[in-house]
Amino acid sequence: MQNVRRPETMARITNIELANAFIDEQVAEIRKQVGDKKVLLALSGGVDSSVVAALLIKAIGKQLVCVHVNHGLMRKGESEQVINVFGKELDANLVYIDATDRFLDLLKGEADPEKKRKIIGGEFIKVFDEEASKLEGISFLAQGTIYPDILESKGVKAHHNVGGLPEDMQFELVEPVRLLYKDEVRVVGDALGLPHNMVYRQPFPGPGLGVRCLGAITRDRLHALREADAILREEFDNYGLAGKVWQYFISIPDMKSVGVRNDMRYEGWPAIIRAVNTSDAMTATIEEIPYELLHKITARITSEVEGINRVLYDLTPKPTGTIEWE
Ligand code: XMP
């Protein structure tokens, strides 16, 4: 990460005209910095790396090589969206690695949250490194560093950045959005024509569903989690809450309870809903989800998702609860 300061005279990018001016300026700057050399980017599909990818594609086209590592812990449809948007629509040079088995095999039996994070972060670097070493003639590494990352690099974020890349990579950095705040990155993403749900995506932890499939991850519980989470997002969308609530997701603990389904005893996991509002993620309040929506989500999850027999709503603000359960 380059340690730079945002000039006090720099106007906040709040509309498409300002975004377009920023894009033109960055395209010229990227071309000047990179020349005819190649740039590598770890593309997670999150807002920041997606906007950086779109900017670089506009500036240098196929000289950018995007690597998307699917660690098997993505939300439903997210890796597919990366392939569709970048591989197909934008015709980018995209290397897609499905490393699901590698990650899940390593995580097998590991219930300790910190160890799980370390395994996921460490393996991510390994997979990315392996792919990078297969590519020839790469001179630059692009990163979706944004201004709060620079401001907070010694704070909470450093501990969170388990998906970060090794410090010793021998590349010069390209960080075109490093002076922008998140809301500005989104305006730029809109101006670049990225899909709305990508630009306004909720924050998603680097270790992904790995910290929401609580305790030792199993493939069947992870599958149930992904399906239940997709239903929650769909119903929030239908109810008009998608853009209003800051972050919402499902976690599933490693425990079963007795239930009944089709007149038969049905032991299953509980799906725990979390829906919070915050401005900086340091503290958070609970969204008051209307009961009719909670009932609908409960009915859908318990009837559509194999393995789940109860739905719970976590009413704990931060503090005392962190936003994620692990
Ligand atoms: P907590 O659980 O600490 O989360 O209240 C605060 C915010 O950070 C997100 N989070 C992460 N983000 N890598 C990330 O990039 C991580 O390892 C990570 N862990 C938590 C969390 O989703 C919430 O938005």
The protein residue with its alpha carbon nearest to ligand 1, atom 11, reads: 205
Residue 152 alpha carbon to ligand 1 centre in Å? 14
Task: Give the position, in ligand 1's atom list, of the atom nearest the Cα of 207.
Answer: 17
Nearest Cα to 324, choosing from 117, 62, 100, 169? 117
**From CA 190, how far away is CA 225, in angstroms rounded?**
30
pLDDT per position in the chain (326 positions), as tens? 878 999 999 999 999 999 999 999 999 999 999 999 999 999 999 999 999 999 999 999 999 999 999 999 999 999 999 999 999 999 999 999 999 999 999 999 999 999 999 999 999 999 999 999 999 999 999 999 999 999 987 544 444 544 456 666 679 999 999 999 999 999 999 999 999 999 999 999 999 999 999 999 999 999 999 999 999 999 999 999 999 999 999 999 999 999 999 999 999 999 999 999 999 899 999 999 999 999 999 999 999 999 999 999 999 999 999 999 99
What is the model's pLDDT at position 162?
A: 43
What is the model's pLDDT at position 170?
A: 79
pLDDT in tens, 237-271: 999 999 999 999 999 999 999 999 999 999 999 99
Q: pTM of the full predicted structure? A: 0.93
**From CA 212, how far away is CA 146, in angstroms rounded?**
26
**From CA 10, how far away is CA 12, in angstroms rounded?**
7
Q: Verify whether ligand 1 is closer than 6 Å to residue 207 (CB atom).
A: yes
Task: Give the position, in ligand 1's atom list, of the atom nearest the Cα of 206.
Answer: 13
What is the model's pLDDT at position 154?
A: 56
Residue 157 alpha carbon to ligand 1 centre in Å? 8
Sequence-separated (6 or more) residues with CB below 8 Å from residue 74 = 45, 208, 209
The protein residue with its alpha carbon nearest to ligand 1, atom 17, reads: 160
Residue 11 alpha carbon to ligand 1 centre in Å? 29
What is the model's pLDDT at position 165?
A: 63
pLDDT in tens, 156-191: 444 454 445 666 667 999 999 999 999 999 999 999
Q: Verify whether ligand 1 is closer than 6 Å to residue 281 (CB atom).
A: yes
8 A C-beta contact, residue 167 and residue 158: no
Cβ atoms < 10 Å from Cβ of 143 = 23
**% of the chain at pLDDT higher than 90:** 92
What is the model's pLDDT at position 158?
A: 41
The DSSP annotation for 40-107 comes to EEE--SSHHHHHHHHHHHHHHGGGEEEEEEE-S-PPTTHHHHHIIIIIIIS--EEEEEE-HHHHHHHH
The b/e string for 144-164 (b: 16+ C-beta within 10 A; e otherwise) is bbbbebbeeeeeeeeebebbb
Q: Verify whether ligand 1 is closer than 6 Å to residue 157 (CB atom).
A: no
Using left for φ > 0, alpha for ψ between -120 and 50, and beta otherwise, residue 91 falls in left
In terms of residues, how long is the chain? 326
Residue 160 alpha carbon to ligand 1 centre in Å? 6
8 A C-beta contact, residue 42 and residue 50: no
What is the model's pLDDT at position 233?
A: 98
